[in-house]
Chains A and B, each alone.
Chain A
Amino acid sequence: MRLAGAELLDSREILPDQWLQTYHAPELVAGARAGQFVHVRTGDYSGLVLRRPFSFNTIDTLAGTLTIHFRTVGRGTEWFTRLRPGDRVDMLGPLGRPFEVDPRTQHVLLVAGGLGIAGVRSLADEAIRDGRQVTLLFGGASARDVYPSSLLPDEVEYVVATDDGSVGHHGFVTELIPAYEAWADQAFACGPLGMLRVLSSLAASRGRRLGVAKLGRKRGAGRPVPAGSPLARRKAFLQVSMEQNMGCAVGACLGCVVLSTAGAPQRVCREGPVFASEELDWEGGW
């Protein structure tokens, strides 16, 4: 974790109220992995007291740049849209734990709901770099919310669902899962809680429905995997990137927790944001 200045290189409104910004921040990019995030200070010191967390949307280690993708939802995010190239912001990162892809995984399924694309986007790059096949299932409200395919690597198979059917499958993105779950070796998802909850229950019953062995059966079968460990995530079929309101983003304030199946609060900023779906209590046990 480092605290460093980041210079804005490029800022674009890629969809209505959705922005893509490129920053030069070599100290933060070094060693950053897909699934991690940065905590960025707004320069409006007139009353905004919290930083804003953003996933690494893409990471370019060679150029020392990263992109963030966000929707304007309030004064903080609006402040970011007024930045001009050359402006500097104060970033803390890389924070949190990354996605863990099993070395044997060939077929990577990414599932994104709306802005959740920012949470899994950089994993597409990482997986392609490592020679894997990637399919991205994207769900949005309507055509105007659909992430532009031009911003994705050519190698990615891109499948869209919209709630109003204005483009792609008419319905929820989760309805596309049956067509891909047999193909996929592992799945990685980010989006609204409702979507993640459906995905997690599909993942839980997948082995039984498809009669496929879980990854990791052969190697180290039966040996206990420490909860929350990178290994636990690597062995899971479904990994999810969680969202929660944050204060500190370093594990100090306990503002950002989700509950584990064991009933223990897990900090999204520290133990997460990426969790194996079976580690979490999806019934909302409080």
Chain B
Amino acid sequence: MKAKRRVVTSATGERPGLAKRRPTVRRIKPAIAPVVRRAPDIRGAVSSNSAASATSTRISAAPQKPVATAPDVDVDLSVDLGRGLVLANPILVASGTFGYGTEYADVVEVQRLGAICCKGTTLRPRIGNPTPRVTETPGGMLNSIGLQNPGVDAVIAKYAETWAGWQVPVIVNVAGESVADYVEVVRRLEGVPGIAGIELNISCPNVGKGGLQFAIDADAAAGVTAAVRRATDLPLLVKLSPNVADVRPIARAIADAGADALTAINTLSGIAVSPSRLRPLLGNTYGGLSGPAIKPVALRIVYEVSQVVDIPVVAIGGVTELADVLDYLAVGAAAVQVGTAIFADPTLPVRLVDELAAECRRRGLTSFAPLIGTALPKRAAAPSSKGVEYRP
């Protein structure tokens, strides 16, 4: 299929995240709201301050009107991640695994993706970590790229114009070593045509605070989120780290600080040993584990988080087939990102878009909203931090 190209009138001064990103895909009005919104009537009454009292209702319990199963019945895959960031479909590509969207263009119909999260971008250029930087592990891989990137100004100069001509929204993944870093990067991205949103990678050391990651502390995570929120009107996604004891208070703090959506998860910390057994394998010793091996962990985190926040959660971790997408939707995700699997199967994300539509059609659904949250408990489940096997 040929990608549809949308004409972007570049000099309007409009922010791309808003009016321009209205998708062209809504051809039918489904019986119920097709997208997850912040409206409490969809998400149920969720107390965002108290985990113990957090109750959760299934998203969209309304009965779905069955549709005559014409093979070409139109399925609305669009999803609203907040602040006008409406994606044509819920299949995104994960930061660091799809470059800047141009690298795979020869073999992937890039315009058919829900969105592209570009490589982590910092204020100044970074040359990244010593090699080896990647190695395969059972069911996954470790990477320690070290956020190699040319810096925000070079990213804008090199790619923004290309992105502005694309139909697919590009979300810039932003990393930093201090709150001021994050804020400055986001300021420079603000108002640049072609940039549809921000994904904050907060799994970075806060140099001012003894190098502890923003992502592992609710106050630090909320602090950087709030500061960035004040600096931009762009849709703001914040990416959670799995390397914490209890992710829920952190997720809630980030939501309260003004994030439009959460993405989860970033990689799990791990190491590999060199074949000689004389040193760790990766040049940087530590790497981030990704791929199918981390899916149960990511699934657990999405499950926990989607019960305690009322903003959309975008699931990431080991998606390799439609069943993974459906699992993530079932535990409350509004969309998913595909990462490592792209390396093996670059056309997978676009295929998942088609397969998800076909699955909805097969079930007589005009949108995928009824697939969201079906595996969530009626009452808030005990978090995994209470212990996995031992129940008091």
Which residues of A line the B interface, CB within 8 A? 1-3, 41, 45, 47-51, 76, 92, 244-259, 263-265, 270, 286
B:121-147 near A, CB below 8 Å: 127-136, 138-141, 143, 145
The reply to whether B99 and A251 contact each other, CB–CB distance below 8 Å, is yes
B43 within 8 A of A: no
> Given A49-B141, A50-B343, are A252 and B134 also a contact pair (CB < 8 Å)?
no
Cα A47 to Cα B141 in complex, Å, equals 10
B378 → chain A closest CB, angstroms: 35
List of A residues within 8 angstroms of B293 by Cβ = 47
Of A50, A92, A254, the residue contacting B148 (CB under 8 A) is A254
List of A residues within 8 angstroms of B340 by Cβ = 49, 247
The reply to whether A255 and B145 contact each other, CB–CB distance below 8 Å, is yes
Of A3, A251, A255, the residue contacting B133 (CB under 8 A) is A255
List of A residues within 8 angstroms of B143 by Cβ = 247, 253, 255
The reply to whether B344 and A41 contact each other, CB–CB distance below 8 Å, is yes
- The range of chain B's interface size is 35 or more
B342 within 8 A of A: yes
Binary interface encoding of chain B residues 79-107 relative to chain A, with 1 for a CB under 8 A from any of its CBs, else 0: 00000000000000000111100011011
B126 → chain A closest CB, angstroms: 10
> Given A248-B97, A248-B342, are A50 and B107 also a contact pair (CB < 8 Å)?
no
List of B residues within 8 angstroms of A2 by Cβ = 106-107
B257 → chain A closest CB, angstroms: 30
The reply to whether B140 and A250 contact each other, CB–CB distance below 8 Å, is no
The reply to whether B140 and A252 contact each other, CB–CB distance below 8 Å, is no
Q: Is the interface of A mostly helix, strand, loop or mixed?
A: loop
Of B97, B132, B140, the residue contacting A244 (CB under 8 A) is B132
Binary interface encoding of chain B residues 276-287 relative to chain A, with 1 for a CB under 8 A from any of its CBs, else 0: 000000010000
List of A residues within 8 angstroms of B343 by Cβ = 49-51, 247-249, 253
B172 → chain A closest CB, angstroms: 15
The reply to whether B148 and A257 contact each other, CB–CB distance below 8 Å, is yes
A270 → chain B closest CB, angstroms: 8
The reply to whether A264 and B127 contact each other, CB–CB distance below 8 Å, is yes
List of A residues within 8 angstroms of B140 by Cβ = 49
B389 within 8 A of A: no
The reply to whether A252 and B98 contact each other, CB–CB distance below 8 Å, is yes
List of B residues within 8 angstroms of A263 by Cβ = 127
Name the CB-closest residue of A to B125: A264
Q: Is the interface of B mostly helix, strand, loop or mixed?
A: loop
List of B residues within 8 angstroms of A270 by Cβ = 103
Of A49, A244, A264, the residue contacting B136 (CB under 8 A) is A49
Cα A258 to Cα B344 in complex, Å, equals 23
B193 within 8 A of A: no
8 pairs, CB–CB < 8 Å, chain A vs chain B: A49-B140, A92-B346, A245-B132, A252-B97, A253-B134, A254-B119, A256-B131, A256-B133
The reply to whether A254 and B136 contact each other, CB–CB distance below 8 Å, is no
Name the CB-closest residue of A to B136: A50
The reply to whether A255 and B127 contact each other, CB–CB distance below 8 Å, is no
The reply to whether A49 and B148 contact each other, CB–CB distance below 8 Å, is no
The reply to whether A250 and B104 contact each other, CB–CB distance below 8 Å, is yes
Query: Which are the 6 A-B pairs with shortest beta-carbon distances?
Result: A252-B99, A255-B134, A286-B130, A252-B103, A47-B139, A1-B106
Cα A270 to Cα B342 in complex, Å, equals 17
Cα A118 to Cα B173 in complex, Å, equals 39
Cα A186 to Cα B341 in complex, Å, equals 41
Cα A132 to Cα B297 in complex, Å, equals 58
B114 within 8 A of A: no
List of B residues within 8 angstroms of A48 by Cβ = 136, 344
Name the CB-closest residue of B to A244: B131
The reply to whether B344 and A245 contact each other, CB–CB distance below 8 Å, is no
Cα A251 to Cα B347 in complex, Å, equals 16
Name the CB-closest residue of A to B138: A47
Name the CB-closest residue of B to A259: B127
List of B residues within 8 angstroms of A248 by Cβ = 97, 99, 103-104, 342-343
List of A residues within 8 angstroms of B145 by Cβ = 253-255
The reply to whether A50 and B141 contact each other, CB–CB distance below 8 Å, is yes
Known: A247-B141, A253-B99, A256-B134. 16 other contacts (CB 8 A): A2-B106, A41-B344, A50-B136, A244-B131, A245-B134, A248-B104, A251-B103, A252-B97, A252-B99, A252-B103, A254-B119, A254-B145, A256-B133, A257-B128, A265-B128, A270-B103
B350 → chain A closest CB, angstroms: 12
List of B residues within 8 angstroms of A49 by Cβ = 136, 139-141, 291-292, 340-341, 343-344
Cα A245 to Cα B340 in complex, Å, equals 15
Residue among A248, A264, A270 having the largest count of chain B Cβ atoms under 10 Å = A248
Cα A264 to Cα B127 in complex, Å, equals 7
List of B residues within 8 angstroms of A41 by Cβ = 344-345
Cα A165 to Cα B143 in complex, Å, equals 40
B:174-223 near A, CB below 8 Å: none
Cα A48 to Cα B344 in complex, Å, equals 9
The reply to whether B133 and A257 contact each other, CB–CB distance below 8 Å, is yes
The reply to whether B103 and A3 contact each other, CB–CB distance below 8 Å, is no
Cα A254 to Cα B104 in complex, Å, equals 14
The reply to whether A245 and B131 contact each other, CB–CB distance below 8 Å, is yes
Name the CB-closest residue of A to B144: A255
A222 → chain B closest CB, angstroms: 30
Of A1, A51, A245, the residue contacting B107 (CB under 8 A) is A1
B:337-359 near A, CB below 8 Å: 340-347
